[in-house]
Chain A
Amino acid sequence: GAGVSQSPSNKVTEKGKDVELRCDPISGHTALYWYRQSLGQGLEFLIYFQGNSAPDKSGLPSDRFSAERTGGSVSTLTIQRTQQEDSAVYLCASSPGLAGKETQYFGPGTRLLVL
């Protein structure tokens, strides 16, 4: 079956512009995560959606970052007024249930470059 897909694959933007990154999780997966991976760094947790519960936004680095998940499926991560330090690979993952125990299935990521 289809895996997790993300779009666009690459995004180049100018400092100060807004960007939207999209994630299509595996059908039926109730949990969805966004991570940021900077060069030479591990995965930085950003936000977590589980079913219809309120998302866990504890990892969002600033109020310029927001995310939503519509219909329990597709998710969009929005970065407003982008800064150069936002340049990174943004990874989306989904899992069938609670992350602590479940395997996460990752998309290929969106590589964001802020000039």
Chain B
Amino acid sequence: AQSVTQPDIHITVSEGASLELRCNYSYGATPYLFWYVQSPGQGLQLLLKYFSGDTLVQGIKGFEAEFKRSQSSFNLRKPSVHWSDAAEYFCAVGARGGSYIPTFGRGTSLIVHP
């Protein structure tokens, strides 16, 4: 079975600063990888996903993530954070075959200071 670790519960950045949210996974093969964002009072929205091919994936709202097989990581990045990016971010792993139920990390809460 797959698992996901988001080691940072909270991250605080200043508006305009760069951002990196960490995600590590455990799975026996190359998984499907997702990042979702949850704004206050909202459901989760997909930011980006990786299936295969180019390991640098571009998403919505200026986010990108890089799949690093050697480190079992799929970290989310943004070069310049906006106040509206304050939200909860979830990394998820989907298995290729077997269970079709994605596994979600515990989430990282992003706080943006003006």
* Cβ–Cβ < 8 Å partners of A59 in chain B: 101
* Cβ–Cβ < 8 Å partners of B102 in chain A: 99-100, 104
| Residue B56 CB within 8 A of the other chain | no
The interface size of chain A toward B, counting residues with CB under 8 Å, comes to 25
Query: How many whole Å from B5's CB to the nearest CB in chain A?
Result: 10
The number of inter-chain residue pairs (CB within 8 angstroms) is 61
The interface size of chain B toward A, counting residues with CB under 8 Å, comes to 27
Query: How many whole Å from B76's CB to the nearest CB in chain A?
Result: 15
Task: Check if A108 sits within 8 Å of B43, measured CB to CB.
Answer: yes
Task: Check if A4 sits within 8 Å of B43, measured CB to CB.
Answer: yes
Task: Check if A56 sits within 8 Å of B104, measured CB to CB.
Answer: no
| Residue A33 CB within 8 A of the other chain | yes
Query: How many whole Å from B37's CB to the nearest CB in chain A?
Result: 11
- Residue interface mask B11-50, A partner, CB < 8 A = 1: 0000000000000000000001010100001111110010
* Cβ–Cβ < 8 Å partners of B112 in chain A: none
| Residue A48 CB within 8 A of the other chain | yes
Task: Check if A45 sits within 8 Å of B43, measured CB to CB.
Answer: no
Task: Check if B43 sits within 8 Å of A100, measured CB to CB.
Answer: no
- The chain B residue with its CB closest to the CB of A108 is B43
- Residue interface mask A44-79, B partner, CB < 8 A = 1: 010010100000100100000000000000000000
Q: Which of A26-44 contact B (CB under 8 A)?
A: 31, 33, 35, 40-43
Other contacts beyond A48-B101, A100-B98, A106-B45: 4, CB < 8 A: A93-B43, A99-B101, A104-B36, A106-B44
Residues of B within 8 A of A (CB): 9, 32, 34, 36, 41-46, 49, 51, 90, 94-107
